Amino acid sequence: MPFAVDANPSSPDAPPAAIVSIKAVPGAKRDEVSGTLGDRLKVRVSQPPEGGKANRAIREMLALELGVRAGDVHLLRGESSAEKVVRIDGVRASEVLKRWA
C-alpha cells in the first residue's frame, strides 16, 4: 500500500485531500523528508517530541513542501507516537506520491 491515498476516492467532486502515513523522527539534526520507509513517509524534525513541538514542526514542514497552509495539515492519529497519519487538504495523493516516491 502506498504511503499516500486520496481522502475522498469515491467522490470526484470533493475538494482534494490526501491521507499520508508517516514515520516521525523527532530530535533529528535537521528538518527533512528523507524518503519512504516501507509504506510510510519518513519525516525528520529537529524539534523534540515534548509538548507537541515535533507534531507542529511536521505539520509546518509538510505544508511548506506541498504549498498549503499549516492549518491544512491535520494529525489524525499518532499524537504521541512515531507512527502518524495526517490529512493534507488541498493536494491529491498523486501529488504527494510524485514528490516523494
Query: Containing domain of residue 44, as a range?
Result: 4-100
Whole-structure pTM value: 0.93
Q: Specify the residue for cell string 513517509.
A: 41
Sign of CA dihedral 48, 54, 56, 57: positive
What are the tens digits of pLDDT across the range 5-40? 999 888 878 899 999 999 999 999 999 999 999 999
**For the chain, what is the domain count?**
1
Instruction: Look at strands 40-44 and 83-89 and give their pairing.
Output: unpaired
What are the tens digits of pLDDT across the range 67-94? 999 999 999 999 999 999 999 999 999 9
Give the CATH number of the domain where residue 66 resides. 3.30.1200.10
